[in-house]
Amino acid sequence: MTFIPKPKIAHPSLPRNELGLTRREYEGALSTLCAGCGHDSITAAIIEACWGISMRPENLVKLSGIGCSSKTTAYFVSGGHGFNSVHGRMPSIAMGANAANRDLYYIGISGDGDSLSIGLGQFCHAIRRNVNMLYIIENNGVYGLTKGQFSASADIGTKAKKGEVNQQPPIDPVLLAMNLGAGFVARSFSGDKAQLVPLIQAGLKYPGFALIDVLSPCVTFNDHDGSTKSYAFTREHYEPVVEADFVPFKKEIATDYAAGEAVPVMLHDGSRVVLRKLAEDYDPTDELHAHDYVQQHIAKGEYLTGLLHCRPTQDTEFHALNRTPELPLNQLPFERLNPGSKQLGKLMARYR
Partner 1 sequence: MSAAPSRVNDFVIKIATVNGTGSASANTLLMKSIFRSGIPVMGKNYFPSNIQGLPTWYEIRISKDGYVARSGKVDIMVAMNAETYARDVRDVAPGGYLIYDSTWPRPALLKRDDVTVLGVPLARLCNENFKGVRTRILMKNICYAGVLAALLDLDVARIRELLAETYAKKPALVESNMQAIQLGYDYAKANFSCPLPLCVEKMDKTSGHIMIDGNTAAALGCVYAGATVAAWYPITPSTSLMDAFKNFADKTRIDPETGRANFAFIQAEDELAAIGMVLGANWNGARSFTATSGPGVSLMSEFLGLAYYAEVPAVLFDVQRVGPSTGMPTRTQQCDLISAAYASHGDTKHVCLYPANPEECFYMAVQAFDLAERLQTPVLVMLDLDIGMNDWMCRDLVWDDNYRPDRGKVLGKAELEKIEKFYRYLDKDEDGIPYRTFPGVHPKGAYFTRGSGHTQFGTYTEDSAEYQLVLDRLLRKFATAKRHVPRPVIEGDGKAKAAIVSIGSCDGAVREALDVIASRGVHLDYMRVRGFPFSEEVEKFLADHEIIYVVEQNRDAQLKSLLTLETRVDKAKLRSLLHYSGLPVSSKFIVDGVLGDLLEGRRAVSGVVS
Binding site for partner 1 (CB under 8 A): 1-3, 5, 29, 56-59, 61, 63, 73-74, 78-86, 89, 91-101, 103-104, 121-122, 124-125, 129, 318, 322-326, 329-330, 332, 334, 336-341, 343-344, 347-348, 351-352
| 60 Ramachandran zone, left/alpha/beta (phi>0; psi -120 to 50) | beta
Task: Return the beta strands (E) in the chain as ranges.
Answer: 60-64, 82-84, 105-111, 133-139, 142-143, 149-150, 184-189, 209-215, 238-247, 262-266, 272-277, 303-310
Cβ closest to partner 1, residue 97 vs residue 310: 97
Least distance from partner 1 to the Cβ atom of residue 206, Å: 19
Query: Could you tell me which residues come within 8 angstroms of residue 83 by beta carbon, excluding any fewer than 6 positions away?
Result: 61, 62, 63, 64, 73, 93, 97
Cβ closest to partner 1, residue 194 vs residue 332: 332
Cβ closest to partner 1, residue 105 vs residue 221: 105
C-alpha to C-alpha distance for 301 and 214, rounded to whole angstroms = 17
Least distance from partner 1 to the Cβ atom of residue 67, Å: 12
Let me know: does 92 contact 121? Beta carbons within 8 Å.
no
Least distance from partner 1 to the Cβ atom of residue 297, Å: 31
C-alpha to C-alpha distance for 66 and 145, rounded to whole angstroms = 10
What are the backbone dihedrals phi and psi of residue 250, each rounded to the nearest 5 degrees, phi first? Answer: -65, -35
Q: Count CB atoms within 10 A of the CB of residue 295.
A: 15
Least distance from partner 1 to the Cβ atom of residue 61, Å: 5
Cβ closest to partner 1, residue 54 vs residue 324: 324
Least distance from partner 1 to the Cβ atom of residue 88, Å: 9
Least distance from partner 1 to the Cβ atom of residue 96, Å: 3
C-alpha to C-alpha distance for 178 and 240, rounded to whole angstroms = 18
Cβ closest to partner 1, residue 68 vs residue 241: 68
- Buried-state track 123-162, b at ≥16 Cβ within 10 A, e below 16: bbebbebbbbbbbbbbbbbbbbeeebebbbbbbeebbbbe
Cβ closest to partner 1, residue 123 vs residue 189: 123
Least distance from partner 1 to the Cβ atom of residue 213, Å: 21
Cβ closest to partner 1, residue 129 vs residue 291: 129
Cβ closest to partner 1, residue 122 vs residue 166: 122
Residue 136's nearest CA partner among 46, 242, 47 is 46
Least distance from partner 1 to the Cβ atom of residue 139, Å: 22
Pairing of strands 272-277, 238-247: antiparallel
Q: Which amino acid is at 86?
A: V
